[in-house]
């Protein structure tokens, strides 16, 4: 999958993209991430990409022209662009469901805002999706873009050693993950539940399911309610 990123800070991506899973996905050719400096498509001598908001107000906005010029340079035309995600705290919250949908695309374009945001015409004419990574405000879209890239990359075939592990864990079926343990069986007075050492796969699976349900019920009542509704369980919580 090819992912182009338009940003004022292309160098910021070097660290996150080189490490571990993303680094391997890129060197094996499964993932091709290309951060582009938006200033490349600024037209004036000072390479200006921001300006004051019409109507007044604090801060600066990113201008529309460099975004449109960049899209035309990268894809030939606006119509030819791939699924285009603007990272913004006003967007739809990123979920595993959306990550799965994005992972099914042949290519993505991620647009990172800075300052007070991006001119509305970029949202209106270029964005196919507006995505937030949570209800808090970051200094720009770069960290959010890295979140999208990592979540999408690990679903691409061949990126995770064991393809099933990408789907088995939290959120794949709407529940938080059950607790897991490795050796030693006893550590500083804390022991691994006997059932996990019993060798009884049926009881292990049932225990894990119960733990996942209970964790979700207490930690994420919103997810729990949605899971209950999907599974048609009677409402009694």
Between CA 1 and CA 155 the distance in angstroms is 11
The 3-state secondary structure of 122-188 reads HHHHHCCEEEECCCCCCCECHHHHHHHHHHHHCCCCCCCCCCCHHHHCCCCCCCCCCCCCCCCCEEC
Output the smallest distance, CB 189 to ligand ADE, in A.
Answer: 40
By CB under 6 A, residue 87 contacts ligand ADE: yes
By CB under 6 A, residue 7 contacts ligand ADE: no
Nearest to ligand ADE of 66, 141 (CB atom): 141
Number of Cβ within a 10 Å radius of residue 53 = 14
By CB under 6 A, residue 111 contacts ligand ADE: no
By CB under 6 A, residue 59 contacts ligand ADE: no
Output the smallest distance, CB 232 to ligand ADE, in A.
Answer: 34
Tokens, residue 127: 């964005």
Output the smallest distance, CB 223 to ligand ADE, in A.
Answer: 20
Q: According to CB under 6 A, which residues from 130 to 189 bind ligand ADE? A: 132-134, 136-138, 141, 144
Tokens, residue 51: 């300006």
By CB under 6 A, residue 84 contacts ligand ADE: no
**What are 204-212's contacts with CB under 8 Å, separation 24+?**
207/178, 208/178, 209/178, 211/178, 211/179, 212/175, 212/176, 212/177, 212/178
Q: How many residues bind ligand ADE (CB under 6 A)?
A: 12
Nearest to ligand ADE of 53, 89 (CB atom): 89
Between CA 161 and CA 154 the distance in angstroms is 10
Output the smallest distance, CB 82 to ligand ADE, in A.
Answer: 19
Nearest to ligand ADE of 64, 141 (CB atom): 141
Inter-CA distances, 6 with 37, 142, 177, 191, Å: 6, 9, 34, 49
By CB under 6 A, residue 54 contacts ligand ADE: no
Question: Site for ligand ADE (CB under 6 A): which residue of 7, 84, 88, 216?
Answer: 88
Nearest to ligand ADE of 120, 229 (CB atom): 120
By CB under 6 A, residue 190 contacts ligand ADE: no
Residues within the interface to ligand ADE (CB under 6 A):
87-89, 113, 132-134, 136-138, 141, 144
């Amino acid at each position: 999958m090819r992912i182009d990123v338009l940003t004022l800070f292309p160098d910021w991506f070097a660290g996150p993209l080189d490490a571990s899973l993303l680094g391997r996905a890129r060197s094996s050719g499964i993932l091709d991430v290309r951060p582009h400096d938006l200033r490349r498509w600024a037209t004036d001598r000072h390479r200006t990409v921001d300006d004051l908001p019409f109507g007044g107000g604090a801060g600066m906005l990113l201008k529309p022209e460099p975004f449109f010029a960049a899209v035309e340079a990268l894809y030939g035309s606006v119509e030819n662009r791939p699924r285009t995600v603007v990272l913004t705290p006003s967007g739809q919250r990123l979920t595993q469901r959306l990550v799965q949908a994005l992972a099914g695309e042949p290519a993505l374009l991620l647009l990172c805002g800075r300052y007070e945001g991006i001119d509305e015409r970029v949202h209106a004419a270029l964005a196919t999706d507006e995505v937030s990574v949570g209800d808090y405000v970051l200094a720009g879209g770069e960290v959010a873009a890295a979140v999208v890239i990592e979540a999408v990359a690990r679903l691409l075939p061949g990126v995770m050693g064991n393809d099933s592990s990408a789907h088995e864990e939290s959120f794949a079926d709407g529940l938080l993950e059950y607790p897991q343990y490795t050796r030693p069986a006893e550590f500083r007075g804390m022991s691994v539940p006997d059932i996990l050492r019993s060798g009884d796969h049926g009881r292990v699976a049932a225990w894990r399911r119960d733990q996942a349900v209970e964790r979700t019920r207490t930690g994420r009542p919103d997810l729990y309610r949605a899971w209950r509704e999907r599974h048609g369980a009677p409402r009694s919580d």
